[in-house]
Amino acid sequence: MLALVDCLLRSIHEPDASTALLGEALDCLQAIAETDPAFAEYLESQQISANSTTVSSWSDLLRTLALLDLASVDRGDSCGTDSSDADLRNTAYNTIRSAAHSAIRLREMQGRFSRGLEEAKLNAIYNFAYGISHELNNPLANISSRAGVLLPSLERADQKQLIQAIIDNAMRGCEMLGDLMLVARPPTPQPDWLDLESLAEEILKRGTHWASLRGVSLESIWIPLGTCRFDRSMFLELVWCVLRNAIEASQPGDRVTLSGNVDSSSLVVQIDDQGSGLSAQALGHCFDPYFSGREAGRGLGMGLAKAQRFAQLLGGFVTLENRAGRGCRATIQISVEHHPHSSPSKIQSGNRNNSSSGLVEVKSD
């Protein structure tokens, strides 16, 4: 019982408590159930098996223990325990219940604090971007337009290249401001019924072109077909931001694999690359605006921040994790609504060059 209380208290300090810690708590549940029939009966009344395999998250476990009340199934007499043992036992279970209540309350407080902090951060970003945009957008636009007027009059190729660099960097500054405001105050999603096959084709066409420019191979296993309802432009930009990040993290000759699947309520896209992976610092800050794990000048650091923001608006999330061996895996999940006359189905695997739809290129590892 003390070990279980210890797990509950440790989970308070780990809002995203690991699977290993949850497994440790479930082992404690099983050990208690094996020695206390009343506790085993309580677990059964909560539709939890003796080995607790039906508990899949900390929320499930905490809700179960917060309701812990053995009075209705107390078998102290039948278990041959005296009154002092029963009092000690009840005290222990009350401690477990109190620890579960404390964990629930603190998790709720942590959630509210995190949401409030995120909202305040986005408001600060928006106010900052809105303020400097008035001071910088006009000068940048003037630089770009005047350089554009000068460009046709130049004859030397090196001079044209220099002027074009001025235009590109002026537009890059405008893009940075625009992306920052977009992350802080994105548009409201406009869901519509969309054909997943056409979306896959658009994503792969753009991704294949970008990958080929960098000597990277893009392979895809796009399973979801059918019609679903969500915001088209927001989803395409979300996937593109993550896919471009994977391609740019790769070296010539590397492979990026894109896969997609759909179930009754969500669409999941997974992108694997063969880059160098992410450091602990990068994993902790990769979704922060303007954070970039690459050297200066290689990226704006807004792509993943924008992707996460769009995913949240679409009822989902983006996660990044290092793959065993080499590279990184990005997982995109959004909530979708299926058309009543459409159901997900699988397409046949084949070589993209020989596929009539041009959608699928599958190579087994």
| pLDDT 10s digits, 205-236 | 899 998 998 899 998 887 667 888 999 999 99
**What is the average pLDDT score of the chain?**
76
Question: Taken in order 100, 103, 109, 114, is the CA torsion positive or negative?
Answer: negative
Domain boundaries, the chain: 1-185, 192-354
| Distance from C-alpha of 43 to C-alpha of 22, rounded to nearest angstrom | 16
Q: In which band, very low, low, confident or very high, does the pLDDT at 89 lie, cut at 50, 70 and 90? A: low
Q: Are 30 and 52 in contact (CB under 8 A)?
A: yes
Residue 60 has pLDDT above 50, yes or no: yes
* Pairing state between β 255-262 and 328-335: unpaired
Distances (CA, A) of 37 to 50, 95, 322: 11, 19, 44
Lowest mean pLDDT among 85-89, 167-171, 229-233, 320-324: 85-89
Q: Are 348 and 223 in contact (CB under 8 A)?
A: no
Mean pLDDT of 129-156: 85
194 forms beta bridges with: 228
| Distance from C-alpha of 276 to C-alpha of 51, rounded to nearest angstrom | 40
The terminus-to-terminus CA distance of the chain in angstroms comes to 46
| Distance from C-alpha of 56 to C-alpha of 58, rounded to nearest angstrom | 7
Angle at 209 between CA 246 and CA 171, to 5 degrees: 80
258 forms beta bridges with: 220, 271
* Pairing state between β 317-322 and 255-262: unpaired
Mean pLDDT of 146-161: 90
| Distance from C-alpha of 128 to C-alpha of 181, rounded to nearest angstrom | 9
Residue ranges of alpha helices (H) inside the chain are 2-12, 19-35, 37-45, 58-66, 83-150, 157-184, 196-213, 232-248, 280-285, 303-313
- Angle at which helix 157-184 crosses helix 303-313, to 10 degrees, equals 30
pLDDT in the model for residue 305: 86
pLDDT in the model for residue 352: 36
Q: What is the DSSP letter of 347?
A: P
Which CATH architecture best describes the domain 192-354?
A: 2-Layer Sandwich (3.30)
| Distance from C-alpha of 52 to C-alpha of 48, rounded to nearest angstrom | 6
Residue 334 φ then ψ, to 5°:
-130, 160
Residue 123 has pLDDT above 70, yes or no: yes
